[in-house]
Structure 1
Amino acid sequence: MSSNKYNVPALEKAIAIIETLSEHDSPLGVSELCKLVDIPKTSVFFILNTLDKHQYLSKTEDGKYKLGNKFINIGLGILNKIEIREVAKPYMEKLLLETGFTVHLAVLDNGEAMYVEKVEKRGFVKFSTYIGQRLPLHASGVGKALAAHIPAEELDAIIQLKGLPEKTENTITNPHELKAELAKIRSLGYAVEDEEGESGIRCIGVPILDHENMPVASVSVTALRADLPIHDIPIVGEKVKQTALNISTRLGYSKGN
């Protein structure tokens, strides 16, 4: 049975008008729209007025139409309702299969990185990390990835509040050295935590960005130092970057932002 039986012609015409307006940078007049969507002028006029009445369109001073802010509000509402864990989990599981390393997802919470998801393979070696665990930004892969992309004033406030306590002999405890490290992270696209939070452990973290190009979370792999030698870090780093990009894209991020 054809699905056309259940179509609503007026609604399809409205959708065609909306999509046409979204594809043009400049507002369009009634006559222009009629030619582009091949719909009678009377129908276009009534549809435009109805959409304008409900604030889905706005009318310019010269009588042309463009999409209204209501579409922005609806879009933001959809993005805000996306559950980051639900979106990230399949990509985290894929990264686990590709690397064999434990994968963590963290968010920034009260000046710290907090794990909100974790996937790991079944085996003898398991890390005692857990969902809800908090880590300092300066001494963790997920934390450094987040710190590298938050506003400078926010970072300074966090350093002032939390300090830069030493976790191991490799922990960065100097603010200037930390900021130089964060600049390097922005250049590479990933953060490396090399036995800075815990001896014998290496992590690679990458921020997850939203539609406003702001960090909403970070994803990382955690491995024993012996299992992640220095020369493998760039290879694994690229895999983590691709994972973060895939998740970011699902959240509305675009490289052109």
Structure 2
Amino acid sequence: MSPYEVATLKKGLLILDALQQNDRLTLTEIMRAFDLNKSTTFRLLYTLEQMGYVKKEGLAYVATEKGGKQHVSVNPRQQWLSVPLLAQLSREIGETLCVGVLHQTQIVTTQIIEGIHGYAYCSQVGSQAPAHHSAYGKAILAFLDPNRQEAILRQIELRAQTKNTFDDLHLLKEHLKVIRQQGYALDDEEAQIGLRCIAAPLFYKGEVTAAVSIAAPTTRLTKQAIRTWSKKLVACCQQISQQLGK
């Protein structure tokens, strides 16, 4: 080690660099990677967290934007191609549509097409929620490559938001199989009591890239509406996906 190096600072920067290269790392993983004891690792992570360079999500740590975390990747072609078709569907059914992309274990809202009834669940662009709580999060998870899906599911903290949230990994996996078969996902008061959402995936070059969700109170998004609107939504998303591939 050079006499000019500060050992503690170097360790902290090495940890930060590792978090920039990985989606998330637990304290134990960081300890093993750098051969540090638990106390030292905790103090370094605590300092980085207090300075705003990392944050804790469940049992793992992730780099923040201040710490070099990249912004959520959004396909600009998807952004402008989807607007006319989604606006048309929103006018037809009168409800708010939200587009979301998966970032680590979170679903991030990237677009909102407001219906005549105003915003429902996805209140603003940039808002985040656990992927398994939402219809569009589950719609993306269901159509991921099996290996990537499994890797993400291992990281998800299955914390129940309501009594209807899936908090059992086996049941969630079976639910995702059903979603893949039927072509759309349903959030049946899993994120918020009194609110239902249906969502369908968007594809680019054969891979799921985002999902579109219709959110409405249960009084409007009835079982009959689910059957009708899900067909319209799937057809709309298929049309957008076809345009994306051109």
TM tier relative to shorter chain: 0.5 to 0.7
- TM-score normalised to the size of structure 1? 0.63
Name the structure 1 match of 2:224.
231
Deviations 1:21-58 (A, max 9, x none): xxxxxxxxxxxxxxxxxxxxxxxxxxxxxxxxxxxxxx
Q: Which residue of 2 aligns with 1:97?
A: 91
Q: Which protein is richer in helix relative to its size?
A: 1
Q: What letter matches 1:133 in structure 2?
A: S
Distance (whole Å) between structure 2 residues aligned to residue 242 and residue 180 of structure 1: 24
Q: TM-score, normalised by structure 2?
A: 0.66
SS in 1 for 2:107: strand
What residue is the counterpart of 2:242 in the other structure? Answer: 249
CA shift for structure 1 position 242: 0.9
What is aligned with 1:208? 202
Q: Which structure has the bigger radius of gyration? A: 1
For the pair 1:111 / 2:126, whether they are aligned, the reply is no
Could you say which residue in structure 1 is the equivalent of 2:166?
Answer: 172
* Alignment RMSD: 1.7
Letter in 1 for 2:143: H
The one-letter code matched in structure 2 to 1:244 is: C
Question: Hey, what's the Cα distance between the residues in 2 that align with 1:135 and 1:242?
Answer: 26
Taking the TM superposition and a 5 Å limit, the aligned residue runs for 1:1-257 are: 82-123=76-117, 125-127=118-120, 129-211=123-205, 213-252=206-245
Q: Please give the alpha-carbon distance, in whole angstroms, between the structure 2 residues aligned to 1:181 and 1:110.
A: 20
Counterpart AA for 2:209 = V
Structure 2 residue ranges without an equivalent (≥5): 1-73
User: Aligned pair in 2 of structure 1 residues 201, 153: CA closer, same or farther (>3 Å)?
Assistant: same
Q: Residues 101 and 121 of structure 1: is their aligned pair in 2 closer, same or farther, counting only changes over 3 Å? A: closer
- Change beyond 3 A, Cα 1:121–1:81: closer
> Which residue number corresponds to residue 74 of structure 1?
none
Contact 1:87 1:247 in 2 (8 A): yes
Q: Secondary structure at the match of 1:226?
A: coil
Identity of aligned residues (%): 29
